[in-house]
A and B are shown apart, each in its own frame.
Chain A
């Protein structure tokens, strides 16, 4: 006769409520793990999918993700000349927040190195890759933009020609793919007044030096478009991505470029490591601590519930002892109930999670090893929680029946 099952059937309401409570707590624990996995996936998604073997960034920086990196756009041409390099693409990425349809729209603007890179590598769920050098974009679904929708960014209007899914930046904002030049236009878009002030400032600076005073034409050029002034450097890019030729040694290529004093080179794995050790690490520790706290809370709650359920049964336990029941019969009654609450709570957490997690604003990734780990933890806390109840039950004297 399974006493635990009989007791549960008799006190079904209380057990059900307890299980739901534990299940919800475990769902949060499960979700925390999933959010951490999601953070990692989101953080490394672009590095994984963009298909670069090497990242050339500003010297002595850990860019372009972990910190700001600025390299001249012509670095692309220099890198292309290195033996073993198959292709070089500029990487332009920055986050903007604009108003669209009356709501804030946060986009991680991603520049594609047109015309070599038209976004053919991006997994599309609708539409197509970029077909022209300007005013087209591919948007992640999380941006909630429709195919064919027009979005004003800066002074220009961009049409959504393709939709992708699951492409988000490390902050969880959806990616928008543009040509690199459009991405820079969006990045460096300034209001007319700011441009006018900058030109006046430039003119004033030129006027203050001898050259400006002796060459009046320079003053005239200084108030013109920045592109018309060869002395001014073109807009910089965040990094240059390289793919190496088949059979070429990526480490050798990296070593060659490392000799240039103005840049630093990272392999794909190094870039992933930088992301995880930098941006994601604190979030990982935060979520990890939160998880530990929730597990402790779950254990305490479960222990408390099992303890009170045991207290409710003290008289019955005394009666069982009086009848000569072995300790293992009584311990098993309590342990089975704790394990059942734990197991059902876990199953409930998993089931609820399948509905709730996709609705979370950030990606929640539940992986099998994490599920197994949590199952082991739940088993552990169920056993631990039952210990207090069992200890209490073991101390009950059979003559308690008489009181």
Chain B
């Protein structure tokens, strides 16, 4: 995977290894994983359960540090092994967006507030945050449900709001962990296409962990993980 010559890679993982436990209970969840993504790239990460996909995603998402290896995001080194080189929470706030299998919307906030809160956390003024949140909801086609609580939204609508929230702070990297698992194939594909649209139009790099092989044509690249190791996949014919 190559980076644009004028911009540093959106994310670069170098030799990431994650080991849980020790001695007899030691489990190597991720072994010497290296990957580099440019801004605007959409990458799928495939693999069976327990292959280490979520471990990789949470390591790159700065919520589960690797045992060893180095993570560089937007040209800035952020993790060296288990050692944080930056304020991780502040870094996540400013540079990362997350989407999960469940939308994980905050139940006491309506759709627009769920998006705006991500910006307010990042010190955007409430009025500006709300305005931008409305724009994002409009961009993702759920503006008419802006004032509905999550309970009143369908699964697809919730996931769109979650994507809007992930985009709120214009992150350089969006991490999505099986975002279509709870959706039917039609809506699942819509969400995948949404990631592609977001990546190409907004310049964020997107890593999507998925089991859904039907939408692989949406991605620029596809990787497979097995036994903690990452390898390029030939599923879409675009493998590196």
A399 at the interface (CB under 8 A from B): yes
Binds A, one of B42-50, B71-79, B99-107, B182-190: B99-107
Residues of A within 8 A of B149 (CB): 10
Q: If A320-B106, A401-B100 touch, does A3 touch B93 (CB 8 Å cutoff)?
A: no
* CB within 8 Å for A397 and B63 given contacts A1-B113, A10-B107: yes
Q: Does A301 contact B (CB under 8 A)?
A: no
Taking CB atoms, residues of chain A closer than 8 Å to B104 are: 315, 319, 401
Select which of B63, B107, B120 is within 8 A of A322 by beta carbon: B63
- Closest partner residue, chain B, to A10 (CB atom): B108
**A38-87, CB < 8 A from B:** none
User: Which A residues are in CB contact (< 8 Å) with B215?
Assistant: none
Task: Evaluate whether A6 and B63 lie within 8 angstroms (CB atoms) in the complex, with A324-B94, A402-B177 already known.
Answer: no
| Residue from A9, A329, A401 in contact with B108 in the complex, judged by beta carbons closer than 8 Å | A9
Residues of B within 8 A of A398 (CB): 63, 92
B68 at the interface (CB under 8 A from A): no
List the A side residues contacting B126 at CB < 8 Å: 1
Any chain A CB within 8 A of the CB of B121?
Answer: yes
Whether the pair B118, A11 counts as a contact (CB closer than 8 A) is no
- A289 interface hit (Cβ, 8 Å): no
Chain A CB within 8 A of B64 CB: yes
Contact of A324 (CB < 8 Å), options: B93, B113, B129: B93
Check: B117 CB closer than 8 A to any chain A CB. Answer: yes
For residue B122, CB closer than 8 A to chain A, the reply is yes
Kindly state the separation between the CA atoms of A78 and B94 in the bound complex, as whole angstroms. Answer: 94
List residues 353-403 of chain A with CB under 8 A from any CB of chain B.
397-399, 401-402
| Chain A residues with CB below 8 A from B94, complex form | 324
Interface residues of A in 325-349 (CB under 8 A from B): 325-326, 329
**Residue-wise interface mask of B (69-102) relative to A, using a CB-CB cutoff of 8 A (1 in contact, 0 not):** 0000000000000000000011111100010100
Interface check A117, CB cutoff 8 A = no
Whether, in the assembled complex, B142 has its beta carbon less than 8 Å from a beta carbon of chain A, the answer is no
Q: A residues engaging B (CB < 8 A)?
A: 1, 3, 6-7, 9-11, 315-316, 319-326, 329, 397-399, 401-402
